[in-house]
Amino acid sequence: MTQDDVLFGYRLRVREMAGRTSVSETRRGLSVDRSTYYAWMGDVERGDLEMMLAPRSPTPQRCPTTSRRGVKERIVTQVGG
C-alpha cells in the first residue's frame, strides 16, 4: 500500500464521518485541522470529489522564485539587455 492509498482512505473516512456526525466530532475523532476539514468539504460541495480524494503531487504548481514573463521582459528592456 502506498502513501497515496493511505491518504485516500483517510480523506474518505473524513468524508464519511462528516456525513454522520458534527464537524467538531469529525475533527476530534480523526485529528483533522479545521482549515483542512473545510477545504476538503468545500471540494466535495463544489463537486470536486476527485480533487479531495486524489493524491496530490508533491511538486508545487508554480515556482515562487520565478518572475512572470512581462516583468522579466521589462527588466531586460530597462537594463538594455
What is residue 20's predicted lDDT score, i.e. its pLDDT? 92
User: Which pTM value belongs to this model?
Assistant: 0.53
Is residue 74 domain-resident? no
Is residue 14 domain-resident? yes
Is residue 1 domain-resident? yes
Is the alpha carbon torsion for 20, 23, 25, 27 positive or negative? Answer: positive
- Beta strands, E only, the chain: none
Give 3 or 49, the one with higher predicted confidence: 3
Distance of CA 52 to the CA centre of its chain: 7
- Supply 30's cell numbers: 480523526
Is residue 78 domain-resident? no
Say yes or no to pLDDT of 3 above 80: no
- pLDDT tens for residues 25-52? 999 998 889 998 888 788 777 776 665 5
Domain with 34, as residue range(s), is 1-56
